[in-house]
Structure 1
């Protein structure tokens, strides 16, 4: 007769993983995935915002160059600006030098030949950025 059946001894490292170890690994991978996904989302939103800021800057500088290159118009109602791309609007506000020390909105009876032109670019869409503003002082040419 033979003795009782013996089970083979397991070697160290053959035990496998427990359910707790698998759950901990899945949770750690989930946290890492959510962190990476959140970082990518933030990077995409930052990129879109920076693109809009850069585009608004380009639009306002183009408008300012056009205003500066146009001839001075006494008591001008507005100055023509290039058509902005879709999603942007440009507003022009003109103030007139009063000859004493301040700019005012209405055109004085005697135009002093100095205007302050304020250009504002507003962006629209899902991620609008703050308005960009640029002021240009325009003088009447003394050569005419």
Structure 2
């Protein structure tokens, strides 16, 4: 019998990668890709949300400036505010000082003490609404007239 043929020995630098090594590398690259993609998605959503909150804050401050600059109206049903951009609504609520230590919703022209607390709220009505932005202003009747 003749001796079985021997395979030639591999020379240095000719080692190949095994299938398991290739699969592990592909899985690691996939995990890294998914992590990066998820982080980018979170950053984009956070950026859009922050932009909407900043816009709502700007709208409520603009409305507050308009209310502060308007003349005092005894037992006002509401103050006029600038029309908000599309996707936002502004609500105005007026509470009246009772002269004792509390604000209330009811007012009579004879009992108006000349102090009002005006609450302005901006609500986002877009596809992904953010929290409402609220600002309170205390308005006082001018005694200079």
Q: Give TM-score, length-normalised by structure 1.
A: 0.92
Distance apart, 1:86 and its partner CA: 1.2
Q: Which residue of 1 aligns with 2:140?
A: 139
Structure 2: state its 5+ residue gaps.
Answer: none
Q: Which residue of 1 aligns with 2:68?
A: 68
Q: Which residue of 1 aligns with 2:80?
A: 80
The answer to whether residue 99 in structure 2 is matched with residue 99 in structure 1 is yes
Mean alpha-carbon deviation: is it higher for 62-71 or for 106-115? 106-115
> Any idea what SS the aligned residue of 1:84 has?
coil
The answer to whether residue 131 in structure 2 is matched with residue 116 in structure 1 is no
Distance apart, 1:106 and its partner CA: 1.4
C-alpha contact 2:88 2:126 (8 A) present in aligned 1: no
Q: Distance in 1 between matches of 2:118 and 2:22?
A: 67
Q: Distance in 1 between matches of 2:5 and 2:137?
A: 99
Q: Which residue of 1 aligns with 2:29?
A: 29
C-alpha contact 2:115 2:138 (8 A) present in aligned 1: yes
Q: Distance in 1 between matches of 2:6 and 2:74?
A: 110
1:88-121: CA deviation from partner (whole Å, max 9, x where unpaired): 1100000111111111101133211111100011
What is the aligned residue count?
141
Q: Which residue of 1 aligns with 2:53?
A: 53
1:15-53: CA deviation from partner (whole Å, max 9, x where unpaired): 211111110111000000000000000000100110011
Distance apart, 1:135 and its partner CA: 0.6
> Any idea what SS the aligned residue of 2:111 has?
coil
Q: CA RMSD in A?
A: 1.5
> Any idea what SS the aligned residue of 2:117 has?
strand
Spell out structure 1 runs of 4+ moving beyond 4 A: 4-8
Structure 1: state its 5+ residue gaps.
Answer: none
